[in-house]
Amino acid sequence: MIDQLYRKAVLTVAERKPIEHLIRARGWGLAQRFVAGETIDGALKAVKDLSAEGILSNLDLLGEFIESPAQCDEFAQNVLNLLDAAHAQGITPYVSIKLSSVGQGKTEGGEDLGLKNARRIVGKARQYGGFVCLDMEDHPRVDQTLAQFRTLVGEFGAQHVGTVLQSYLYRTEADRNALDDLQPNLRIVKGAYLEPESVAMPDKADVDAAYRRLVYAHMNAGHYVNVATHDESIIADVKHFVLAHGVSKDAFEFQMLYGIRRDLQKQLAQEGYRVRAYIPYGRDWYAYFSRRIAERPGNAMFVLKGMLKG
Ligand SMILES: Cc1cc2nc3c(=O)[nH]c(=O)nc-3n(C[C@H](O)[C@H](O)[C@H](O)COP(=O)(O)OP(=O)(O)OC[C@H]3O[C@@H](n4cnc5c(N)ncnc54)[C@H](O)[C@@H]3O)c2cc1C
All residue ranges of the chain with pLDDT < 50 are 310
Q: How many CB atoms lie within 10 A of CB 227?
A: 27
- Ligand 1 atom showing the smallest separation from residue 295 Cα: 41
The catalytic position among 7, 141, 176, 187 is 187
3-state secondary structure of 96: strand
pLDDT given for residue 304 in this prediction:
67
- What are the domain boundaries of the chain? 1-34+288-304, 35-284
pLDDT given for residue 255 in this prediction:
98
176's enclosing H/E stretch is helix 172-179
For residue 70, CA distances in Å to 78, 166, 195, 211, 287 come to 12, 30, 30, 38, 22
Q: Say yes or no: CB of residue 229 within 6 Å of ligand 1.
A: yes
The catalytic position among 60, 73, 135, 175 is 135
220-247 pLDDT, tens digit each: 999 999 999 999 999 999 999 999 999 9
187 belongs to the catalytic site: yes
Q: Tell me the Ramachandran region of residue 308: left when phi exceeds 0, alpha when psi lies from -120 to 50, beta otherwise.
A: alpha
Q: Are 114 and 75 in contact (CB under 8 A)?
A: no
Q: Which residue is closest in CA terms to ligand 1's atom 31?
A: 231
pLDDT given for residue 104 in this prediction:
97
Task: Please give the distance, rounded to the nearest whole angstrom, from the Cα atom of residue 230 to the centre of ligand 1.
Answer: 6
Give the C-alpha separation, 266 to 290, whole Å. 25
End-to-end CA separation in angstroms for the chain: 34
pLDDT given for residue 289 in this prediction:
85
Just give the CATH number of 35-284. Answer: 3.20.20.220
135 belongs to the catalytic site: yes
Pocket test for ligand 1, best of 215, 295, 302, 303 (most atoms within 8 A of CB): 295
Give the C-alpha separation, 40 to 95, whole Å. 12
